[in-house]
A and B are shown apart, each in its own frame.
Chain A
Amino acid sequence: MTVIDVRSILVVGGRRFVSAPVSAKFGMVVIAAYVLAALLAPHLTPYGEAEIVGTQFEPWSSKFWLGTDNLGRDMLTRLAFGARNTIGIALLTTCLAFSIGAFAGLAAATFAGWLDQILARLVDVLMSIPQLIFALLLLSIFGTSVSALVVVIALLDSTRVFRLSRAVAINVAVLDYVEAARLRGEGATWIMTREILPNIAPTLVAEFGLRFCFVFLLISALSFLGLGIQPPTADWGSMVRDSATLISYGDITPLLPAGAIALLAVAVNLVVDWLLHSASGLHDA
């Protein structure tokens, strides 16, 4: 969590940006463009988010730059609004999942003993329940509002983050300098945040980029069950689903929202790679 600190990035931003490799610059430009599109969607787009403006599946034209979707809504407009909804929800969910998962994982590794056992057992139980049933149970208890969606997906995802951060942190927790800190009499919080966290951060950051993608997919999978984002809100996952059958006829329309997700995923991970690279102190490439 600490590494994707928006403020610190802003502070060092300018200087760092100039010194960044081309790939990272590309990633940042893409992310910035997405964020702008998300923030300014209502001003940038020619039509309303749910407005039906043409007949369904119209081809690309000067009126509808990217054609229309299965109900005759403007594809470009839906894509821009989709950025707003999808990125916002996915980012929020991933952050929440990492806050819960990484903290619990760190605590388990640091304190070991019974706390570790309890947390590990709990996560084991949660993870051994088939995800579909788990999601169904939780969503039928919490309902299908966006906030419930965020919490449920974050909870599901945090178990995976926990497993990973615990696995990495246990390796670090037995290292000499952590042992030394313990003997120095440092508090648990100090050990967790100052000794262990910086050493497992790169792995977590790499995982963050991927988890971010998985959240998109999970949201789209949930709308398969009728539990996803409420219509007529645009989100990329559902947009792929709505038009997916077209691909069998060689129509590339469904590739647009899918491509939007892929491009963002690549961009996020390029930036993550760069952060990872500069954090690890390697300069040999």
Chain B
Amino acid sequence: MSKWGEHSKPALTVSRRSVLKSAAAVGALAITSSGATLSVVAQESAPKRGGHFKLGVAAGATSDSLDPGTYTNSFTELFGKTLHGYLTGIDADGKVNGEIAESWDVSKDAKTWIFKLRKGVEFHNGKSLDAKDVLASINHHREEQSKSGAKPIVDPVDEVRADGPGTVVFVLKDGNADFPYLLEDFHLAIVPSKDGKADVSGVGAGGYVLDNIDYGVKGTGKRFANYWKSDAAWFDSFEALAIHDVTARTNALATGQIHAMERCDLKTIHLLERNKDLEIVSIAGTQFYCTAMDCKAAPFDNADVRLAVKHAINRQQLLDTLLHGHGKLGNDHPIGSTNRFFAKNLPQREFDPEKARFHLKKAGLSDLKISLSTADAAFPGAVDAAAIYQQDAAKAGVSIDVVREPNDGYWDTVWLKKPFYMSYWLGRPTADWMFSQGYAADAAWNQGHWKNARFNELLVAARSELDDAKRSEMYAEMQSICRDDGGEVIPVFANNVSALSRKIAHTKLASNWDLDGFRCAERWWFADA
């Protein structure tokens, strides 16, 4: 498949009080170049306007809404990034850049962030954007009664205030050097303020104006004539269809009813690749599959048992069988190879039945019987993955009883509750965010209920550390601790695999979210037909 080069060295210069111009690097998420998979055509043709772009999305429900706080699936997330403007953006190289915020200043302790807003940005309803709109948009997620999915992001914000119509100041409870990255989150759309409240009816400052939306079915948008970017949003109009069934999506693409689809069926990807009219793009990202062990109770309260279980899984086979190579081997910690703090020198854990037996013996056990809860709700192919795990673990003296749980209600009855269960993380763009949300001792979604004193100490220290070399060392140690002591088996990272008609042209694809950072409607165009 596609080859992924070594990630580029983070070109990082955070001077103590530097004004960061819109395109300046705060530090790359170090996206790998996707050379082989990008079509030559795509890079040769100059962008041009026109056409009606149709896209097949794998999610979308009748219960969706346009309130940015409620975005939970790729259908609404795509509309968020298409209809709305955001303070910051992340480009194809993983660098943060200014969008509605033109530039920003940061205080020495990384606690106070001052964002200068771009002039001349207009909403779809003709209102011009100012600091009040930004305040209303951010406060929409901060309200006490807020049901926003972005609450964890805005909770560390102590205060947001306007400093004139063109400046917004964020004061954080603790220093966080990654803050501009967080503002790129799809929930944090900038919407117009209406009587001091955020107007969440779908009016935004993005490249397309909402035309019509039938939740769970499809939505359409027209190009916004007064969009502040002149070199983006090339299509005259776009249409996103919610096509849950992967075969239906693939058929629609093959018969030309749509121009692009997300989430290809990996089982048959080798057959899809034979279609010369399509381009398959496979982008390494932050998403990983995992199996969590309850570290509070026997048998997983013993670190050697956890190590035995980690050695009893055949990662390569999972990567080959489940993902058909469209992913990366996991090393039992949640930091992906595209992260700038990824610990490159940590040895890759392999399938090793002897070592598994050794650790079992060390834990005083001759064999181990455990029940593994799974369902395809955990991640696509989880039930198959459990069957494979069961086969391999048996060779290491670990006998796994696979319990298939109902998909419905999996996140209520199994997740965080069963002693040994499958799960996944979409991942987070920064190491601090990932560790804080899923691995810190007090994290609400610490899937293995894992507590490690040294790890938690490092986590706090690294967050406010501004020296990147030191920070890198700390994160490397944390990855190592997580790998050898942590409560999760993390066998693979999954790529985002999409298929595009050859009629579609694009530049290098971003990897922060699926579908070119959910900005396909803004960044792609029709090549000469």
Q: Which A residues lie at the B interface, using CB under 8 A?
A: 50-52, 55-57, 70-72, 136, 139-140, 144, 225-227, 230-232, 244-246, 248-249, 251
Contact = CB atoms under 8 A, between A and B. Distances in A.
Contact of A231 (B267, B272, B404): B404
B247 A244 contact: yes
A140 B251 contact: no
Interface stretch (B130-138, B290-298, B385-393, B516-524): B385-393
Nearest to B407: A226
A149 to B, nearest CB: 11
Interface string B233-273: 00000000000001100110010000000000101100110
B246 A226 contact: no
Interface in B321-369: 321
B377 interface: yes
Contact of A56 (B265, B321, B410): B321
11 contacts: A50-B387, A70-B384, A71-B387, A225-B407, A226-B375, A226-B376, A226-B407, A226-B408, A244-B247, A245-B250, A249-B268
Contacts of B384: 70-71, 231
A57 B410 CA distance: 30
A248 B247 contact: yes
Interface string B380-412: 000110111011000000000011111111100
Contact of A245 (B246, B388, B407): B246
The 5 A-B pairs of least Cβ separation, nearest first, read A226-B407, A232-B387, A249-B271, A226-B375, A245-B247
Nearest to B401: A230
Given A56-B321, A71-B384, A140 B409 contact: yes
Nearest to A243: B267
Nearest to B409: A140
Contact of A248 (B250, B390, B402, B405): B250
Contacts of A136: 406, 408
Contacts of B265: 245
A116 to B, nearest CB: 36
Contacts of A70: 267, 384
A244 B377 CA distance: 19
Given A51-B391, A52-B391, A231 B246 contact: no
Contacts of B377: 226
Nearest to B271: A249
Contacts of A251: 271
A182 B166 CA distance: 95
Contact of B268 (A52, A72, A231, A246): A246
Given A226-B405, A226-B408, A249-B268, A231 B251 contact: no
A12 to B, nearest CB: 43
Nearest to A132: B408
A262 to B, nearest CB: 21
A209 B410 CA distance: 36
A245 B390 contact: no
B386 A231 contact: yes
Contact of B406 (A226, A246, A248): A226
A74 to B, nearest CB: 13
- Most chain-A Cβ atoms within 10 A of its Cβ — which of B321, B402, B406? B406
A55 B320 CA distance: 9
Contacts of B386: 231
B408 A71 contact: no
A139 B272 CA distance: 37
A10 B408 CA distance: 46
Nearest to B387: A232
Contacts of B267: 56-57, 70, 245-246
A255 to B, nearest CB: 15
A237 to B, nearest CB: 14
Contact of A52 (B271, B388, B408): B388
A144 B387 CA distance: 18
Interface residues of B, number: 31
A225 B250 contact: no
Nearest to A232: B387
Given A51-B391, A231-B386, A245 B268 contact: yes
Contacts of B271: 246, 249, 251
B402 A231 contact: yes
A245 B247 CA distance: 6
Contacts of A232: 387, 390, 402
A219 B268 CA distance: 25
A74 B301 CA distance: 38
A244 B384 CA distance: 15
A57 B324 CA distance: 12
Contacts of B320: 55
Nearest to B376: A226
Given A51-B391, A246-B268, A227 B250 contact: no
B406 A144 contact: yes
Contacts of B388: 52, 71
Contacts of B408: 136, 140, 225-226
Given A52-B388, A55-B320, 20 more contacts: A70-B384, A71-B384, A136-B406, A140-B409, A144-B406, A225-B407, A226-B375, A226-B406, A227-B406, A227-B407, A231-B386, A231-B387, A232-B390, A232-B402, A244-B247, A245-B265, A246-B268, A248-B247, A248-B250, A248-B268
Given A244-B247, A249-B268, A249-B271, A226 B387 contact: no
B404 A226 contact: yes
B353 to A, nearest CB: 15
A285 to B, nearest CB: 44
A227 B408 CA distance: 9
B383 A231 contact: yes
Contact of B403 (A230, A246, A248): A230
A137 to B, nearest CB: 10
B426 to A, nearest CB: 21
A244 B404 CA distance: 21
Given A226-B376, A248-B247, A139 B387 contact: no
B391 A50 contact: yes
A202 B402 CA distance: 43
A248 B403 CA distance: 31
A52 to B, nearest CB: 5
A247 B247 CA distance: 10
B382 to A, nearest CB: 10
Contacts of B376: 226
Contacts of B254: 248
B321 A225 contact: no
A72 to B, nearest CB: 7
A71 B275 CA distance: 24
A225 to B, nearest CB: 6
Contacts of A51: 391
A21 B375 CA distance: 48
A245 B410 CA distance: 25
Contacts of B403: 230
Nearest to B247: A245
B364 to A, nearest CB: 30
A139 B406 contact: yes
A136 B413 CA distance: 14
A71 B321 CA distance: 6
A245 B269 CA distance: 11
A70 B376 CA distance: 15
Nearest to A52: B391
Contacts of B272: 249
A230 B404 contact: yes
Interface string B61-95: 00000000000000000000000000000000000
